[in-house]
Amino acid sequence: MELVEAIILAVLAASTPLLIAATGELVTERSGVLNLGVEGMMIVGAACGFAGAWLTGSIFIGALFGIVAGTMMSLIFALMALGLAVNQVATGLALTILGVGLSGLIGAGFVGERITPAVHLSIPGLTDIPLVGRVLFGEDGFVYFSIALVIGVWWFLYRTRAGLILRACGDNHVSAHALGYPVLRIRTLAVMFGGACAGL
């Protein structure tokens, strides 16, 4: 029983960053942009997030550092792929290479340092339930945020007018432009959202 619980907890911990980044990339791709630079944004966000958390002593301020770093990286991608119409695949791969090098530069001064991890939820009685207690009621805030993010993005894409417009830009940008929607601006905002999620 404890082994099964440990495996589930390990899977949750490992999959949360991927789920957040993939959700952001989903929005980006639904707008009609392929961003293969997500890995570079993630690693720069990780380095900046760690640095921010170590310097300030707050894991949440560190997360904000990561979000800002990912957003700045996404703006580079948007400038190249959307502004200058450079090939999206080549731009994304170049951004990943840039991210690997940049993260090494940013993180060089923090090698060997430690930060306090995010606080785990603890509800007396519920967290102590065998097998499901720690899985459902004993995770940190990022796990619950990732689930809420998935639900929120689904609701935005399929239950709001803005989500319909974003999907229209991805499905047929010529028609969306003919209807008067600012396709470039919508795609840029979608790329920035994806970068923020990757940085987080």
Q: How many CA atoms lie within 13 A of 73 on its CB side?
A: 40
Computed over every residue of the chain, the mean pLDDT equals 93
How far apart CA 194 and CA 33 sit, in angstroms, is 11
Residue 131 clears pLDDT 80, i.e. is over it: no
Percent of the chain scoring above 70 in pLDDT: 100
How far apart are alpha carbons 83 and 117 in whole angstroms? 39
pLDDT for 1 equals 65
131: its two tokens: 């097998």
Alpha carbon 88 to its chain centroid, in Å, reads 19
* Tokens 């003919």 -> residue: 178
HSE, side-chain direction, 13 A CA sphere, residue 42: 17
pTM: 0.93
Confidence band, pLDDT 50/70/90 cuts, at residue 136: confident
Does residue 27 carry a pLDDT above 90?
Answer: yes
Q: How far is residue 174's CA from residue 76's CA, in Å, rounded to a whole number?
A: 24
Q: Please give the full DSSP string across 100-159, using - where no structure is assigned.
A: HHHHHHHHGGGTT---PPPPBP--TTTTTSTTHHHHHHSSBHHHHHHHHHHHHHHHHHHH
